[in-house]
Amino acid sequence: MKKQVSFLVVRRLLIALITLVIVSFAVFFATALLPGDTATILLGQSATPEAVEGLRKAMHLNDPAIIRFLKWMAGLFQSDFGTSYANNVPVATLIRGRFVNTMKLAGLTASIAVPLALTLGITAAIWRGTLYDRIVTVGTIGIISVPEFMIATLAVLLFAVYLKWLPALSLTNEVKSVHDLVRIYAMPVMTLTFGVSAQMIRMTRAAVVETLNTPYVEMALLKGASRPRIVLRHALPNALGPIVNAVALSLSYLLGGVIIVETVFNYPGVAKLMVDAVSTRDLPLIQTCAMIFCLGYLALITAADIVAVLSNPRLR
């Protein structure tokens, strides 16, 4: 049985690796299809055709796409992400500080969203059918229905414009105390928490309710076990796999939702760097940022799959 579990884990890792290679291929050729010529954008519209052609040769933009892709992949395997076209600075140098900022934002959001969502989802499943369950369900559906940019915009209008409690821009270099930390990160974290928590609450509730409807849980209830004990001792361990998948899927949403939040609040993260790179057609920077998001998504989903395999009693 241990060999079977090991085989399933290794298979998940191999699938993730193959998926990453396919995604890298898609990212490279999708960015290559962006409108505009990189050399012309860098030199300006007044540049002569000779200057543009010389820059294209110097940057190897005239090489066949497959050759440039293979060189880029070889660089990734050697931790060489290339040099930014717009800044003539190594991409790793540009991303290093921004990546830390993005991880701070994601970490703060996860530390609030995960406990909140699990608590609401589990308690709604315990008291399903009650007024509390209806309020939680209607609230999550309402939040899911509102676009994230709308939540961010309303937060700016309410807390920054009208109440003047929080700054409209999240400038991390102004954080010098815990009070500054709360003020700078309050609106971005709140916006992301709304989007992440809503899906997590629904999926957690569904997983626990499904487990509560199984025969062994009904038998424990008939024997006189309390509902909280049934959930914590019987239902929750068996619902761990679906719950972990729900958490992973919801946290992977941060990788996409953070683009909107960083743009609205001018937060200096990887997503904002990627948006700025698109405007200058800085291909190495765009490709590296996209690969970071894809790698983070695959890591979360693969980890959730492995936990689901290891937490499944039949496989153990």
- Which pTM value belongs to this model? 0.80
Does some domain include residue 286?
Answer: yes
State phi, psi for 311 to the nearest 5 degrees.
Answer: -90, 0
pLDDT at residue 316, rounded to an integer: 55
Q: What is the DSSP string of 145-187?
A: HS-HHHHHHHHIIIIIIIS--S-SS--GGG--SHHHHHHHHHH
The C-alpha atoms of residue 195 and residue 225 are separated, in whole angstroms, by 36
The total number of structural domains in the chain stands at: 1
| 268 phi, psi to nearest 5 deg | -80, 75
Q: In which domain, by residue range, is 242 found?
A: 2-34+81-310
Instruction: For residues 227 and 314, give the distance between their C-alpha atoms in angstroms, rounded to a whole number.
Output: 25
Residue 99 lies in a domain: yes
pLDDT (0 to 100) of residue 134: 92
Whether residue 108 is contained in a domain is answered as: yes
Q: What is the pLDDT along the chain (316 residues), one digit of tens a residue?
A: 667 767 777 888 888 888 888 888 888 888 777 666 677 767 776 777 777 778 777 777 777 778 888 888 888 888 788 888 877 888 888 888 788 888 888 888 889 988 999 899 888 888 888 899 899 989 888 888 888 888 888 888 888 888 888 887 777 766 677 777 788 888 888 888 888 888 888 888 888 888 877 777 777 777 777 777 777 777 777 777 778 877 887 777 776 667 888 888 888 888 888 888 887 778 888 888 888 888 888 888 888 777 777 766 555 5
**Is 41 part of a structural domain of the chain?**
no
Query: Does any domain span residue 54?
Result: no
| 76: in domain | no
Q: What is the DSSP letter of 135?
A: H
Alpha-carbon gap, residue 236 to 126, rounded angstroms: 11
CATH number at residue 114: 1.10.3720.10
For 215, the token pair is 């025969």
42 in a domain, yes or no?
no
Find tokens 């010098």 and name the residue: 176
In a domain, 66, yes or no: no
Structure tokens given for 279? 């405007």
Q: Terminal CA-to-CA distance of the chain, rounded, Å?
A: 7
The pLDDT score that the predictor gives to residue 185 is: 86
Query: Can you tell me whether residue 83 is helix, strand or coil?
Result: strand
Give the integer Cα–Cα distance in Å for 25 and 32. Answer: 11
